[in-house]
Amino acid sequence: MIKEIQNTPHFQVITDNQGLAQICEQAQQHSVVALDTEFIRVRSYYPKLGLIQLYDGEQVSLIDPNDISDFAPFIALLANQNVLKVLHACSEDLEVFQYYFQQLPTPLLDTQMMANFLAFPNSTGFASLIQHYFDLALDKGASRTDWLARPLSAKQLAYAAADVWYLLPLYHKMAEQLAQMPWQGESSIQSAVQFDCHLLLEKAQKSKDPDKAYVNIPNAYKLNAEQLMRLKLLASWRQGEAIKRDLALNFVVRAESLFLVAMHNPKNTSALLQLGINPQEVRIHGKKMLQLIEQLKRLDPADYPSPMVRFSEDPRYKKAIKALREKLQEMTPHNFASELIASRKSLDKLMKWVWLKQKDPNKLPDLMRDWREPFGRKLCALLENH
């Protein structure tokens, strides 16, 4: 019988450098550890770390970061290539590690990613997997809680400990099941899972280019080149301001306000208010936004961004996406979700790569990498006939 399922989690709280060094040294003796973080992100640009959970198979440690000044032992553990780190739905945890420690947990396996390959619905939650494998209902009562408050309650600590206490046996159970799964690719199913976890790490390392911030503003495709240049200046400034003040983007200025300013080119603060822009945004940032759009007079129109083309409006698009989806369904192995091979977004990226980027080998879409490449090649062949 699995000890974690028989017993409730026992844990220790780590609050100083010495304690952290000790548990990290102990964890480095194990081939696999479970990791999780608790953080808050409401109004801030960056996540605010409240707690780190670590379980090495013997000891659950809840690391309180507030009074720890030397994280070198923990960073060394994150980087240790001989210790596999297991997390669940880890994309936001990776942001935490990247921001606080400039080190991602490698090598990494994500149990939500493993679940995708085991034919669970996309984004299956941790509690659902524990219920499925161990017939155990987890108490999720403390999930929405203030992890920055001190002292943390006994209920909060027990909730946090459970997240890693049950994660390790879950990983072992799923790894066992994956090893028995039939796989039609050239590589093993385990290496396919590892590649998808590697993609998570890759994404977490990408920095957000302020010069590209404008492309994420809703409805930007409606603007002409001059209006887009205004939007580019505004969005780049907003991102810099958000980072400087550690404030979520829309708490600096809402995206729709930037869009309106870029579109209508107002000349004064009264005109900003007439556009329906929040008076507080006008009071705090109105003059700055007007100064930014004034810069256009000094810029060469040749440097304006090209108007954005909505790919779905390409006359070939509807027919091609339908053909791709049909081909994908036909190629998808039995007991395997076609979305795992290619989402709608990744089919769009493949089309752009073939039609617009002349199959640039330096900018391969995910569908042309690793285990997906044989599927991608067949889909490419189909596209070339459209």
Catalytic residue among 45, 55, 100, 159: 159
Element spanning 13, H or E: strand 11-14
Alpha carbons 142 and 50: distance in angstroms, whole number: 13
Is 93 tagged catalytic? yes
Backbone angles phi, psi at 52, to 5 degrees: -120, 130
Three-state SS letters, 315-332: CCHHHHHHHHHHHHHHHC
Options 4, 38, 64, 110, the catalytic residue: 38
Q: Is 64 a catalytic residue?
A: no
Which residue among 4, 93, 95, 196 is the active-site one? 93
38-74 core/surface letters (b: 16 or more CB in 10 A; e: else): bbeeeeebbbbbbbbbbbbbeebbbbbbeebeebebb
Q: Within 10 Å of residue 264's Cβ, how many Cβ atoms?
A: 15
386 by DSSP, 3-state: which?
coil
Given 95, 163, 366, 370, which residue is catalytic?
163
Sign of the four-CA dihedral 238, 239, 240, 241: positive
The tokens for 83 are 């210790």
Residue 326, CB-side half-sphere exposure with 13 Å CA sphere: 8
Active site residue 159: yes
In the sheet that 48-55 helps form, which strands lie side by side, from edge to edge?
11-14, 60-63, 48-55, 32-40, 84-87, 108-110
Listed in order, strand segments (DSSP E) in 29-112 are 32-40, 48-55, 60-63, 84-87, 108-110
Q: Catalytic: 196?
A: no
State the Cα–Cα distance between residues 237 and 245, nearest whole angstrom: 12
- The yes-or-no answer on residue 36 being catalytic is yes
Backbone phi, then psi, for 13, in 5-degree steps?
Answer: -100, 130
Q: Can you list the alpha helix ranges (DSSP code H) found in the chain?
A: 3-6, 17-27, 72-79, 91-101, 111-117, 126-134, 154-165, 167-179, 189-205, 225-245, 249-252, 255-264, 269-274, 279-294, 317-331, 338-341, 344-355, 373-383
> What is the total residue count of the chain?
386
H or E segment and range at residue 14: strand 11-14
Which residues form the catalytic set? 36, 38, 93, 159, 163
